């Protein structure tokens, strides 16, 4: 089998799908790895590092994609890249199929067997393949560094000859992987941290990191059987809105991380809440790319409202490309090797991980939400 690693083409993307460390493992299993020249340069992995572990370097991306049995990417392929894939080849990437229906349709037409890492089920056996968690960890860490840089105060408490400066107060909304990493990083920087989440199970995790948990008193729980967040009743959200408003007004930094289904950002902070925050406060909205948890968030921009900075960063893992690429690459290599049997990739359609991650195969869209969305779009116009 021949794995192809093209250079990422999306603007601002500095990661690479496979780093030399992972290529060495794959080559050691008898898998040929071909890397487009310069694919790892932005994440500080030069071509020579790939050659040293047995990978080949190719200059012609069209030839690379057309000859690969299995293509690995960070971002979804462009329509042009899909057109260059060898018909029937395999693709492994963070596809976000519901957001990229045109790409899903094109992959089906190309008869590509496409796996989306964001659809891998959250089960114990798949933990080492979970790119969402790996990248969320990076984003949570980086969000706190951004907040500390933008806040006009110290994070830790300082006792000086001129008197005491009290620690900054940080409020984290959402205690998934990104939120927990944000809590841990803010605590390491010396802040006083409070956090909330709609899932009851995470209260203990929040407290174990030294933060205070605040939550809505309710019998409802936002954690689904699959481990992802799910929507709750309007009454729950009303109470949650009151709680968030109170906490935002009392904190110097607010970091939001809430997503539903991995792609939808619930609106949690209204414009009125922002106006009641103290001037100089900072909001870092990690859900900016999915619409934002704050009503005033503008993706990729910093907005100032009544002295409050609302920062909507995009693709934070790309800002730390070396470590992000390493973690992402390990996830992909684990996925490939988990199904590597007798010198071939074993496409076991009955396997729970394969079934969950598979989006297109043999000319069909198998990811149920994407299939339904395409059918709806087909009835009303282009996806």
Q: Which residues are identified as catalytic?
A: 122, 127, 130, 133, 228
Asked if residues 227 and 221 have their Cβ atoms less than 8 Å apart, the reply is: no
Q: How far apart are CA 305 and CA 32, in angstroms?
A: 54
The alpha carbon dihedral of 149, 150, 156, 160 has a sign of positive
Q: List, as one string, the DSSP characters of 193-229.
A: EEEE-S-GGGHHHHHHTTPEE-----S---B-TTSSB
Asked if residues 294 and 156 have their Cβ atoms less than 8 Å apart, the reply is: no
Strand runs (DSSP E) across 107-150, as ranges? Answer: 113-116
Q: How far apart are CA 17 and CA 40, in angstroms?
A: 9
Asked if residues 335 and 168 have their Cβ atoms less than 8 Å apart, the reply is: no
Given phi > 0 = left and psi -120 to 50 = alpha, else beta, which region is 25?
A: alpha
Length of the chain counted residue by residue:
383
Given phi > 0 = left and psi -120 to 50 = alpha, else beta, which region is 280?
A: left
Q: How far apart are CA 43 and CA 241, in angstroms?
A: 40
Q: How far apart are CA 181 and CA 149, in angstroms?
A: 17
> Where do the H-state alpha helices sit in 151-288?
177-188, 203-208, 234-250, 271-275
């Amino acid at each position: 089998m021949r794995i192809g690693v093209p250079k990422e083409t999306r603007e601002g993307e500095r990661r690479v799908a496979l780093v030399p460390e992972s290529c060495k493992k794959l080559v050691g299993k008898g898998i040929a790895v071909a890397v487009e020249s310069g694919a790892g340069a932005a994440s500080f992995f030069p071509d020579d590092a790939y050659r040293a572990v047995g990978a080949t370097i190719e200059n012609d991306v069209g030839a690379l994609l057309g000859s690969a049995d299995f293509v690995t990417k960070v971002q979804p392929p462009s329509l042009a890249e899909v057109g260059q894939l060898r018909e029937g080849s395999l693709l492994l990437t963070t596809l976000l199929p519901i957001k990229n229906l045109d790409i899903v349709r094109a992959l089906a037409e190309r008869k590509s067997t496409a796996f989306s890492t964001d659809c891998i089920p959250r089960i114990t056996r798949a933990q080492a393949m979970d790119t969402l968690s790996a990248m969320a960890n990076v984003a949570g860490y980086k969000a706190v560094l951004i907040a500390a840089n933008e806040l006009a105060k110290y994070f830790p408490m300082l006792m000086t000859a001129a008197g005491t400066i009290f620690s900054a107060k940080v409020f984290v909304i959402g205690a998934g992987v990104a939120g927990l990493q944000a809590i841990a990083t803010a605590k390491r920087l010396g802040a006083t941290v409070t956090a909330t989440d709609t899932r009851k199970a995470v209260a203990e995790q929040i407290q174990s990191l030294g933060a205070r948990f605040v939550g809505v008193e309710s019998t409802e729980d936002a954690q689904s059987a699959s481990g992802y967040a799910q929507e709750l009743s309007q009454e729950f959200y009303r109470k949650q809105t009151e709680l968030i408003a109170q906490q935002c007004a009392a904190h110097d930094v607010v970091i939001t991380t809430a997503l539903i289904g991995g792609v939808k950002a619930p609106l949690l902070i209204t414009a009125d809440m922002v106006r009641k925050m103290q001037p100089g406060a900072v909001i870092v909205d990690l859900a900016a790319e999915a619409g934002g948890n704050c009503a005033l968030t503008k993706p990729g921009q910093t907005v100032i409202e009544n002295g409050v900075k609302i920062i909507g960063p995009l693709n934070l893992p790309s800002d730390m490309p070396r470590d992000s690429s390493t973690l992402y690459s390990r996830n992909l290599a684990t996925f490939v090797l988990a199904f590597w049997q007798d010198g071939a990739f074993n496409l076991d359609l009955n396997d729970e991980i394969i079934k969950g991650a598979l989006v297109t195969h043999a000319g069909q869209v198998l990811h149920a939400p994407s299939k339904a969305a395409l059918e709806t779009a087909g009835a009303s116009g282009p996806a």
